[in-house]
Structure 1
Amino acid sequence: MAWDRFVPDEPRHLRVHDRLRYARGAGQNEREFENHVNYHWLLSPAALKLPRVMLEAGINTPAETEAVDGTRRGLLAIRSSPWKAGHESNPWHDEFDLDHGHVRYFGDHKPSTEGMLGSTKGNKALLEAARLHSGTTKDERLLAPPLLLFRSITVHRDGRALVKGHVEFCGAAIIERVEHVVQRDPESGLSFPNIAIDLAVVDGGEVDGIDMRWIDDRRNPDLTGAETLRHAPKSWRSWVSQGKGAIPGIRRRVLASPVRSPAEQQPMPETAEAIVLEKVYEFYDGRKHAFELLASQAAAEVLQESGARYKAGWLSRSSGDGGVDFIGRLDMGSLNASTPIVVLGQAKCIKPSSSISPEQVARVVARLRRGWIGVYVTTGFFSKQAQVEIIDDQYPVVLIAGGVLADTVRRMAQANYGGNLDELLASTILQYAEAIAHRRPEEVLSL
């Protein structure tokens, strides 16, 4: 029976941040299930007579399609479960920055996994997809499966918090980079290898998402790869045509005021990040100079998220620092073609409810030379005027407030101390004295 007789004609839009009900008991005919859009209807309507696209694993691999022009996989469905982070089943912490179109996702190699990287079903599928996503020809990119990203969320119904059974759509993505990493199991303390992938979430155009008929087409054996692009986002079509060079122009970007409120700069109350931030403040209260080392380490993590290479320098002396607490170096470019940039850092451990004034930020700005950048790290938040002055005068200063700091420190503890925050904080006290040096900032360029 011809496929076209079953393909729904009307668009089925799936938008970023849409909340879906993912339930085993839901059918594929029902548009809604328990007051939410039914995931199974949206991904695999009954009319298509296709198997469901399940989200039981982190990396889900629907069956390949034997199409008229060759074999292709219609999609990879990726699910991140933040509430599982730190457990044996998910000892890592995925990073989602949807406003800037970036996701960092960790593979499914676990502490108990035997065999080499790529031996697990999920990692094998990611590596196969990465090969196609890095393809240098249009034909390779036509075969590349889009990664549909979902994140488990908690919803409240009848006064109860439901942790399972609901997901949020986070966009369609292209694999930009694959990295081999070593992670630590927070329960056993043992290290294990894994892969981490950096994903570019593509722009969803006017609907800020995708038309699911695109995915239907990719699973349609009667269509060629080129024909499956008819309902694809314009951004995806541009990438297929132009390749890697198109990614900066097709990445999802949310235009918002760069000035952030105090609430936007701090973690939500009673969250794990809020607990971390309060613990950091209490730990360094009375020994705030040692906070400079933690700030330096956190700044390195944040700056490296851009893909640049960061090299730690040293801490300045506690007196007479002139507005600079730590020095580092950022290497921009490839290993064979790069330029070093001096990084001047300021650290301020204050109550999370307190703000940093324009005058305090200006101390770092005053020390910057042409081609240098500044980083200001605080447990508090930056006042509106401090942010406005940085933006209006286009000063190259990265502002790291309490929310970003807490999230970064939490990930550092998970990656290097088995999730033990106390051990991480204690290590800064032990290493503080050795990290101090009396040197000119520009000397970091020769390290």
Structure 2
Amino acid sequence: MTHSPGEKRAQLEAGINAVASVKAEGAAASRRPAICIRSSPWKAGSEHTPWHDVFDMDNGHVRYFGDHKASVSKAPGTTSGNAALLHAFEAHQGHTPEERSTATPLLMFRAVSRNGQPKGYVEFCGVGVIERAERLVQWSGREHATFVNYVYDIALIDLSAEDDQVSWDWIDSRRRTSVSDVQTLVTAPRAWQEWVKHGNSALPRLRRRVARARVTRVPEQRPAPGSPEAKDLELVYKYFDGRKHEFEAIASAVTAHILRGDGQSYVEGWLTRRSGDGGADFVGRLDLGRGLAGTSLVVLGQAKCVRPDSLVSAEQIARVVARLQRGWIGVYVTTGAYSVPAQTEMVEDQYPIVLVNGLDLARELRTLARDDHGGDLEACIEYLLKGRENAVTNRRPEEILLA
């Protein structure tokens, strides 16, 4: 599928596989035909892969970690994978169509389970543009050490005009020295051509989006029996059994992690007192834009630690919605799941509320535990509970706008 006659075969042996650069006749600089990126979710958290890549296919976003490791003595940006991606990032931030025409397309793949096997198969996930490269400190897993690495936020472009496929002829043309940078665009996906022409300001409309109903079946909201997520969720439920009011601190932290996930500015506020909370357990603030070109929204949160096989009803969600004022949004965090009627009512009435189910809760907590506590979920929970008593107050939610 990815063989170019007369050229070396493109590889997926490593996580970051850069195709050799070429220099077109008369070009001022060389171009790299493509970088093939492979993610192996089944390795996440292991000694060799202590990071955790995120593939949000429905919203056209990938968060991918570079190839530096604790055992590598080189500077973080000089390992082969990071060096290739950082160089690609420069062109992806090009200010003119001429600069962007030299940009390297990222071909994204991930390992998937098939025929009962967790590895051995890969799925093509699309073509990516690097929106942001961030230097960060990571936990190295079994080595119990930290190291510096890069993480890349990648936008997947819309391939609907090509039936969600990519012609390898495009990459072939980028490998030929007789074809100019501009000429290679003839076989490029339509969204890539538009991005080269208009730049990153066009990415919101060029990003891959999957149109789907906003109602999720109950089984899809629960971890598979015996899975790591099921064990984590059971641990959370048992930890707070008998003291479920303390779960509010966990719900507040998970909400902050989710709302900050796409680069949004979120401020954690406070937890409300057990009596007289009026249907709200925690308060936060979501900041959009900045200065005169910005605004802030009050976030009103409800936390419910219930049996993982429990369902949240429409009436329970409506109690939170009833508290919302103009410029407020709600968040409902539970260890259970949301009934289909509850979700249907939320969609039909256009409630401004975020629903976090048990499966999402388990995944977010596992990410927090992996990033900051060496994968120890209980240590992560205990840390999030520290200072909880000082965070409890009777303040009015709208006061968060002045904080």
User: What TM-score comes out, normalization by structure 1 length?
Assistant: 0.86
Contact 1:205 1:234 in 2 (8 A): no
Query: How far apart in 1 are the matches of 2:223 and 2:195?
Result: 36
Q: Is 1:195 equivalent to 2:147 in the alignment?
A: no
CA deviations on 1:422-445 (whole Å, 9 max, x unpaired) are: 111223444332221221112212
- The alpha-carbon deviation at position 306 of structure 1 amounts to 2.7
Supply the AA of the counterpart residue of 1:193. V
> Unaligned 5+ residue runs, structure 1?
1-41
Query: How far apart in 1 are the matches of 2:173 and 2:120?
Result: 27
1:79 to 33, 38, 41: 38
2:245 to 279, 286, 289: 289
Q: Is 1:224 equivalent to 2:180 in the alignment?
A: yes
- The alpha-carbon deviation at position 332 of structure 1 amounts to 1.1
In structure 2, the CA distance between the partners of 1:189 and 1:440, relative to structure 1 (3 Å rule), is farther
2:12 to 37, 42, 55: 55
Contact 1:290 1:428 in 2 (8 A): no
Where does residue 331 of structure 2 map in the other structure? 375
Contact 1:67 1:220 in 2 (8 A): yes
Contact 1:203 1:209 in 2 (8 A): no
In structure 2, the CA distance between the partners of 1:409 and 1:55, relative to structure 1 (3 Å rule), is same
RMSD over aligned Cα atoms: 1.6
In structure 2, the CA distance between the partners of 1:335 and 1:92, relative to structure 1 (3 Å rule), is farther
- The alpha-carbon deviation at position 59 of structure 1 amounts to 1.2
Contact 2:271 2:282 in 1 (8 A): yes
Query: How far apart in 1 are the matches of 2:76 and 2:396?
Result: 44
Where does residue 181 of structure 1 map in the other structure? 136
Contact 1:308 1:333 in 2 (8 A): no
Supply the AA of the counterpart residue of 1:95. V
With 404-413 and 108-117 compared, the bigger mean Cα shift is at: 108-117
- The alpha-carbon deviation at position 60 of structure 1 amounts to 1.2
Query: How far apart in 1 are the matches of 2:127 and 2:223?
Result: 27
% identical equivalent positions: 49
Query: How far apart in 2 are the matches of 1:342 and 1:93?
Result: 31
Q: Is 1:424 equivalent to 2:380 in the alignment?
A: yes
Aligned ranges 1:213-362 → 2 under 5 Å:
213-334=169-290, 337-362=293-318
Contact 1:80 1:151 in 2 (8 A): yes
1:118 to 68, 77, 80: 77
- Residue aligned with 1:67, SS: coil
- Residue aligned with 1:444, SS: helix
In structure 2, the CA distance between the partners of 1:324 and 1:201, relative to structure 1 (3 Å rule), is same
- The alpha-carbon deviation at position 404 of structure 1 amounts to 1.3
Query: How far apart in 2 are the matches of 1:93 and 1:426?
Result: 22
Where does residue 21 of structure 1 map in the other structure? none
> Unaligned 5+ residue runs, structure 2?
none
Contact 1:103 1:200 in 2 (8 A): yes
Q: Is 1:65 equivalent to 2:22 in the alignment?
A: yes
Question: How many residue pairs are counted as aligned between the two chains?
Answer: 400
Q: Is 1:413 equivalent to 2:372 in the alignment?
A: no
Contact 2:253 2:384 in 1 (8 A): no
Q: Is 1:392 equivalent to 2:348 in the alignment?
A: yes
CA deviations on 1:206-256 (whole Å, 9 max, x unpaired) are: 411211111111112111111111221111111011111111111111111
User: What TM-score comes out, normalization by structure 2 length?
Assistant: 0.95
